[in-house]
Chain A
Amino acid sequence: MKINNKTRVRIENASKNFDKVVALKNVNLEVKIGEVVLIIGPSGSGKSTLLRSVNRLENLTSGDIWVDDDLLTNNKSDIRKIREEVGMVFQSFNLFSHLTALENVTLAPLTVKKIPKETAEKKGRELLARVGLSDKENNYPDQLSGGQQQRVAIARALAMNPKVMLFDEPTSALDPEMIKEVLDVMLQLAKDGMTMLVVSHEMGFARAAADKVVFMDGGEIIEIGTPDDIFDQPKEERTKKFLKHIL
């Protein structure tokens, strides 16, 4: 795997409170260019909140997040510029239900980057081909299976040429037989050198693609290691307990 030593995403002392609930407590994490980082942990452990902070769908209470050299948590920074560079894939796909697959993919390039329609559609078709859905470009989301929708959602995020991709439990809303088609696309992305931050419990994907696995609990990072370290020889008691539940 071609990991560059340059840092792409840097999270420093990130904390987040929802009223009195502490969702994140002093989280520090670095993701290097080309690195694939998997975040695991029980529900409510803050993993989704952390991920959503990286394009400021959640605002941190304190702490800083950088994407390359842009400070994301500064209110003055152009959040839209940064969001263009941070692709996001959601658990519930969130495809725009009034648009076809191709229109879903081309909406942001057309609206935000003002790319000519022909160029955007050409690129959109390439991306749909890349996720194996060339024949579905004119289908609306409700005419696609869950796995197909999620693949369109990945193509949609890729259309903005992001520097890093965030995946928030991308397969947990899918029927078992559709999980593989989505993981295959993600695996290919990882092989192509995309920097990825993934909240997921897919062990197979983790072992095949992840460089680092992060275990979170109670809003804190408990343990970081390679997939083999974390899954086979976890050091922390809480990690062991959690893994026992999901394995």
Chain B
Amino acid sequence: MAQIKTPRFEVTDGTLIPDKGEKSIFSAWKIAFFGAISLLIILPIVKPDPYLYILKFIPDGIVATFQVTVLSIVLSFFIGLLTGLGRISRVTIFNRIATVYVEVIRGIPLLVQLFYIYYALGKIVQVPRLASAVIAMAVCYGAYMGEIFRAGILAIPRGQMEAALALGLSRGQALWKVILPQTVKVILPPIGNEFIALLKDSSLVSILAVSDLLRRGREYASTSFMYFESYTIVALVYLIITLFLSRLVAIMEEKLVRREN
């Protein structure tokens, strides 16, 4: 059988993606994941006060965290698509706008951006806290997502575009029907990584008074003065979620590879 390989590229920041092929990472993942789960079960049983109360107090926060994360990733997907297209565009003005946007965003710490967009937006229109948090996160992650799209589009062999053009398709049609469908497949794993990174960074929105997981923990801590206990639970919940998601991404990657072979 012939060898057409979907091009791969790796973006490695954040959690290690536990591939079953890499035994050491996979077993480290298992230890961390099941360790965290057992702690989360054992602590409330052994010491219901305060651990069980904390555990009952934070689920609203988990929901908010996921809300911010999912909405931001969806919005940043589209910003990223536009940015990626702009970055490879031959039209100077689009290219400049996209490139400057990426450069500016990557040069400013996320926390500063969050403050800036929140208060800058607040000067113009009064937006709900959740909305401005989502917009801020999406604007920031859109820049990184744009780079993923750009790399993904460039990873598609030139011949695909040439073949489409030779058949009489316009550049736009070729992009839409030939290049992007293949790009999306290539960039799914890196986007999964971005999702995990965004979920962790979403803890920053707690300073905008969005009641996410971290903020719920803080609220409990500040009324009960159980700082250590509250943040232990918060950290464990974050850890379990990100480890679980990183395993999901790994499974997705494995599936993609298997479909190829």
Residues of A within 8 A of B163 (CB): 88, 90, 94-96, 153
User: Would A112 and B162 count as touching, CB distance under 8 A?
Assistant: no
User: Would B177 and A111 count as touching, CB distance under 8 A?
Assistant: yes
**With A and B bound together, what is the CA distance between A111 and B168 in angstroms?**
9
Residues 178-197 (chain B) with a chain A CB within 8 angstroms: 178, 181-182, 185
Of the candidates A57, A98, A141, the one whose C-beta lies within 8 Å of that of B2 is A141
Any B CB within 8 A of the CB of A194: no
Any A CB within 8 A of the CB of B167: yes
Any A CB within 8 A of the CB of B24: no
| A111-B177, A141-B2 known; A81+B160 contact, CB < 8 A | no
User: Would A141 and B166 count as touching, CB distance under 8 A?
Assistant: no
**What residue of chain B has the Cβ atom nearest to residue A108's Cβ?**
B167
| A96-B160, A97-B182 known; A80+B166 contact, CB < 8 A | no
**With A and B bound together, what is the CA distance between A96 and B185 in angstroms?**
13
User: Would A88 and B173 count as touching, CB distance under 8 A?
Assistant: no
| A94-B160, A98-B182, A145-B1 known; A57+B166 contact, CB < 8 A | yes
User: Would B167 and A107 count as touching, CB distance under 8 A?
Assistant: yes
Of the candidates B6, B160, B173, B182, the one whose C-beta lies within 8 Å of that of A112 is B173
User: Would B166 and A83 count as touching, CB distance under 8 A?
Assistant: yes
Q: Mark A54-95, 1 if CB is under 8 A from B, else 0.
A: 010100000000000000000000001101101110101011
**With A and B bound together, what is the CA distance between A98 and B165 in angstroms?**
17
- Expressed in whole angstroms, the minimum distance between the Cβ of B30 and any Cβ of chain A is 33
Residues of B within 8 A of A95 (CB): 4, 163
**What residue of chain B has the Cβ atom nearest to residue A88's Cβ?**
B166
Of the candidates B3, B160, B173, B260, the one whose C-beta lies within 8 Å of that of A111 is B173
Residues of A within 8 A of B169 (CB): 80, 107-108, 111-112
**With A and B bound together, what is the CA distance between A146 and B173 in angstroms?**
27
Residues 155-171 (chain B) with a chain A CB within 8 angstroms: 157, 159-160, 162-170
**With A and B bound together, what is the CA distance between A192 and B107 in angstroms?**
63
- Expressed in whole angstroms, the minimum distance between the Cβ of A62 and any Cβ of chain B is 22
Residues 140-157 (chain A) with a chain B CB within 8 angstroms: 141-146, 148-149, 153, 156-157
User: Would B168 and A108 count as touching, CB distance under 8 A?
Assistant: yes
- Expressed in whole angstroms, the minimum distance between the Cβ of B8 and any Cβ of chain A is 14
Any B CB within 8 A of the CB of A164: no
User: Would B166 and A92 count as touching, CB distance under 8 A?
Assistant: no
Any B CB within 8 A of the CB of A160: yes
User: Would B162 and A94 count as touching, CB distance under 8 A?
Assistant: yes
Residues of B within 8 A of A153 (CB): 163
User: Would B6 and A81 count as touching, CB distance under 8 A?
Assistant: no
User: Would B4 and A156 count as touching, CB distance under 8 A?
Assistant: no
**With A and B bound together, what is the CA distance between A57 and B167 in angstroms?**
11
User: Would B168 and A160 count as touching, CB distance under 8 A?
Assistant: yes
- Expressed in whole angstroms, the minimum distance between the Cβ of A48 and any Cβ of chain B is 12
User: Would A143 and B1 count as touching, CB distance under 8 A?
Assistant: yes
User: Would A156 and B167 count as touching, CB distance under 8 A?
Assistant: yes
**What residue of chain A has the Cβ atom nearest to residue B161's Cβ?**
A94
User: Would A112 and B166 count as touching, CB distance under 8 A?
Assistant: no
Residues 11-32 (chain B) with a chain A CB within 8 angstroms: none
**With A and B bound together, what is the CA distance between A64 and B163 in angstroms?**
23
**With A and B bound together, what is the CA distance between A157 and B163 in angstroms?**
9
Of the candidates B4, B164, B166, B177, the one whose C-beta lies within 8 Å of that of A97 is B4
User: Would B1 and A92 count as touching, CB distance under 8 A?
Assistant: no
Residues of B within 8 A of A87 (CB): 166
User: Would B167 and A149 count as touching, CB distance under 8 A?
Assistant: no
A83-B167, A145-B2 known; 16 other A-B pairs, CB under 8 Å? A57-B162, A80-B168, A88-B167, A90-B163, A94-B160, A96-B164, A96-B178, A98-B178, A98-B182, A108-B167, A108-B169, A111-B177, A141-B4, A142-B260, A144-B2, A157-B167
Instruction: Please list 6 pairs of residues, one from A and one from B, whose beta carbons are closer than 8 Å in the complex, sorted by A's number.
Output: A83-B167, A95-B163, A98-B181, A111-B177, A145-B1, A160-B168
B: residues with CB less than 8 A from A are: 1-4, 6, 157, 159-160, 162-170, 173, 177-178, 181-182, 185, 260
